[in-house]
Chains A and B, each alone.
Chain A
Amino acid sequence: MRRDSGGPPAINPFLVPGWEESPLRPLCPWRYESHDELYVDVNHTLAAFQEYTRRMAAVENLREDGRLVLVTGESGCGKTALINRCARWTRDRLTERGLRGVVVDLTRDGSRQSVEERMGLVAARLLDELAHSALLAPEALASLDSVRPSRLYAGLGNALPDDVVLIVLLPPADEVVQEVVAYAGLARRRLLFFAESSYLGHAQVLKVRDSSPVPPITLAVGPLNQGDVRRFIEDRLTRHHERGHYPRISTETMDKAAGPLRSIAMLQRILSEVYEERGKQDSGYTDDDWVTYEDITRLFYEKFFDDLRIRR
């Protein structure tokens, strides 16, 4: 990004401060407090979040009854960001009630294995994390090591300190209903599981609900609605105004971009890269300059046909 001499810096308003190198990472307020403010109400995520807070109002009950939360929606719709927000909220509410919510992020510990293998791997990784955070006494760890997931999760509630509730973020579950149902059954006392899937449709979610001994809280993140794109762009263009300068986008362009940019991930990716590209060119990067719809379509074309260019 160019920096004009003297004045405020030229910045990319679509990058999260501190995460400039990874524009597609979902917001994570349980790890970075400042992210909590960056949520924009798109894709029904606010409604889903509110539904979660309503259902979990008596969060202290987790000490006795665990729960699974299943978030579904197509790729790039913001499922992980919603889960991170819910995890943060849960941890804060537990703190308010004199309890400790410990978030264990195992979202990257999935692989193309059978359910049994995947669950075994998750269980082993959970124990690693608990050992690392010294939440379990060595003898408790030793007694739980290598036991089957069903025994592990049943025994974990007793082995954890009295004030601790584990908030476990599970790896994506694809379309395997069986795995989600298994976790719904394993969510025993002091355990809150978050699972997400891009491939479970409405029918399969109903199947999960019907098959689970304790039905999970299910949250669906939908597609972008009318006005979502404009709301998101306006938020980003307004929010960072004091940090630096950058070109503007007309409301007409925003509304036009709502046609092709159909998910929050796509919106975030294309606009952040349009601004990056613009920053490298000499076509103006001041508050008086404009990013046009043509800038967006050009970048889309170049990215989309990237391998075609390579082949040629």
Chain B
Amino acid sequence: MRDFTLDFERPICELEDKIDELERLADNGQTGLDGEIERLRKKTDKLRSEVYSRLTRWQCVQLARHPARPYTLDYINRITTDFIELHGDRSFQDDRAIVAGLARWGPHRVAVIGQQKGRGTRENLQRNFAMSHPEGYRKALRVMKLSEKFGLPVVTLIDTPGAYPGIGAEERGQAAAIADNLLAMAQLKVPIVAVIIGEGGSGGALALGVADRVYMSEYAIYSVISPEGCASILFRDASRASQAAEALKLTGRDLLEYKLIDGLIDEPPGGAHNDPASAAKEVAEVVTAALDELLPLNHEERIEKRIDKYTRMGTWIEK
């Protein structure tokens, strides 16, 4: 049974449960159920594609935050081999909201870095709900510099509500840490590929998100502010988050249309949490293909192209 279902997932889940039940009966020797099971399967697929073809942006936010959604380490464990985690920023402490390490990603040796959400309260407290302190960004930067030194490309997996807003974070320079990463990533000599796998929460996400190629999983979101934060500031009412989500245009499809990202990565029917293995396979292939393209370029050319890409972002009227 599932621990958590979203409202719009429920009718689909109910059908799936019914199919499970019938399959159990069939396994126990009851005959003549095949037709019914087949009928229900078709019905489920139809309902699912209906629901997912007209998802609202708020439903997309809910999927991006789904507690069963695969997290950074789930992807790392499914995709990479020889993963060795590296800890600490060599200055203050190890921030467990970000994981960083070396691994083999298909044919490539890479540094892989990403925010890590926890499963359950205890782990979430350790991971600080994937909201990094400055030392998390500094650890990320340290590992990027390490990979630059040894010519390894960097893959980042982004999934955070945002940088942590707290006293310690400010005392230790949250803003400076993020700014340093933006500048360093813009001119890192090795290829960088970023994938927003869940929540792309503002500056805290961007601090791992300046890259030659930026992809978003189909139901991931990327936003300048959380829908709740936007609603409470602009509409003076945090409960109007669904309205804010619509206004912010924060889905992968929106951002692809605006050319603010380089591509969308398909998720399995019903979202990544329904089939983490194929979700991981898609991510693995897209990133590998991007690295295949990026690695042959010389680093100066790659950096110029990367900077040029960002200078084109924006829209204005010039009189």
Is the A/B pair a real complex? no
Q: Which residues of A contact B (CB under 8 A)?
A: none
